[in-house]
Every structure is written in C-alpha cells, then in structure tokens.
Amino acid sequence: MLQRAISSTNELIPAIGLGTWKVFDVDPAQEHPELLQVLHQFHKAGATVIDSSPMYGNAEEITGQLTQASGIADKFFYATKVWIQGRQEGIRQMEASMRKMQRSTVELMQIHNLVDWQIHLETLREWKAAGKIKYIGITHYTDSMHAELEKIISTEPIDFVQFNYSIHARAAEKRLLPAAAEHGVATLINRPFGEGALFSKVRGKQLPEWVKEYNIHSWAQLFLKFILSHPAVTCVIPATSKVSNAIDNLQAGQGEMPDAGARQKLAALF
C-alpha cells in the first residue's frame, strides 16, 4: 500500500482510506457481517484511515461497534468531525462522537463544512495540546468553498484539509492543492467517484488497454489512481459497504502511479 507523509509530523499513512457516509449509516441493533469483512480486507491491505462524522447518522456508532468486533480496533486511524454551532455544543458533540466510536482519543478531528470554524478551532487546539486528538482538520465538499479552505490553511496552523476532487471535478488543482503543498497541510479527498456519477459515465465502456501499464484494472482504480497521482494528495477516502468494491479500491494504492503525461491522457478521457 502506497503511503504518504502527514506534512506537520512526517507520520506516514496509507493513501487509500475508507469513507463512511451513507454506507455505515445502518441499524446499530443489527449485525453487519459484510461491513465487518470490509474492515478486515481494509486492514489486510495495509489501510488504516476511517473517516466519519456526526452528520452521517449512525456511522460513528457503527464504526465503533465494528472496529471493536474486528479485534484490531487499535490498528486504525480514526477521523471524525464537529458539525454544530457553539463552543459547548461542539465539545458535547465531539465527546459523544468519541463515545460512539469507542475511543478515548482520535487521530483527527475536523471542522465539518467549516461550521463555526473559528470557535471550534480554539477548542481543537486545546484538545490537541491535551492529547485528546493528534491532528486538526477542516473540511468541505463543494468547489465554491475551495477559496475559503485555501485562506484558512494559509493563515492558521491546520494539519489536514478535506475536500472534493476527482477526474471530472478538478477545480482543486488550480489553487487548493498547491496551497496545501505550500503550507504543509495533508489532504483528504472526498467524493472521488462524484457520488457514483463517474460510474454512470463509463457504464458499458471498456478500459483503455494502455492503463494496465499502471496496474489499473477497473474504472474505480483508474479514478483513484488519477487522484493519487497528484503529488499534493495524501489520502483518498472512497466509501463502500461491499467487500468486492473494497478490494478493488484498495488495489489502487499499489503499483506505479500515472506520471504527468499519463494524467493528461486520463483526463482527456473525460
């Protein structure tokens, strides 16, 4: 599994992570054996980063249940978010998130969609100093907020910035990705498949033969390797509840990455 450095500490993390939006928002009172197998495949491939949020319904609770059931709960890199107005409300929400995830500390706490970010950033600095969290992040999922994300990482001590980027949504290449590299901020990439829209575009189409030179054997691997081939990308977090899809996605973290010329050819496909 390809690993990339978190710029603020040089800690290495695997370049393929796991998103939990929608796919982990399931009934906590039921068993979910396929999701548990997704986690085992995830660990087997050398991946660690699991990203969640209180916005994602039951996802944090399911993450806690399944990682505990896996027997390897301490092998993962836990990332979640604060998504509420107000300092005390934010503290209560983050404490609830940690209880749901069954963690006394989490690796990364992010301010989701920049909600009340100035207030929460103060709290996160305090929590980081106290050892409750290791890293501070900010997030958004739309192109229209890239300028605001860029401004914050250029002026505040932020460890991670999470945003949307894909082969068909490349606005982040203009300023946000270069800014993250310039200011030493690690990047988490959401919506790598455009919420599934990219698969609709290629349904029934054959992969170009030449992409196999880069160990690309599926459209999912093509989409993920395009993202990972950008040097400012640290980790991409596709969400899935299916073991076969997890295995497919994880293979994108292996083998040679497309070079600049190959990236142009891949982008030209879309």
Q: How many separate domains does the chain show? A: 1
Rounded CA-CA distance 28/35 in Å is 12
Paired tokens of 14: 């695997």
Rounded CA-CA distance 225/207 in Å is 14
**CB-based contacts of 28-36 (< 8 A; 24+ apart in sequence):** 28/58, 28/61, 28/62, 28/65, 32/62, 32/66, 34/241, 34/242, 34/243, 35/62, 35/66, 35/241, 36/66, 36/69, 36/70
pTM: 0.96
Rounded CA-CA distance 80/268 in Å is 35
* End-to-end CA gap in the chain: 27
For 139-184, the pLDDT digits (tens) are 999 999 999 999 999 999 999 999 999 999 999 999 999 999 999 9
Residue 217: give its domain's CATH number.
3.20.20.100
In the predicted structure, residue 270 carries a pLDDT above the cut 90: no
In the predicted structure, residue 239 carries a pLDDT above the cut 90: yes
CB crowding 91-125: b at 16 or more within 10 Å, else e: bebbeebbebbebeebbbbbbbbbbbbebbbebbe
pLDDT score, position 80: 98
For 2-54, the pLDDT digits (tens) are 999 999 999 999 999 999 999 999 999 999 999 999 999 999 999 999 999 99
Domain with 226 in it: 3-268
**What SS3 state is found at 133?**
strand
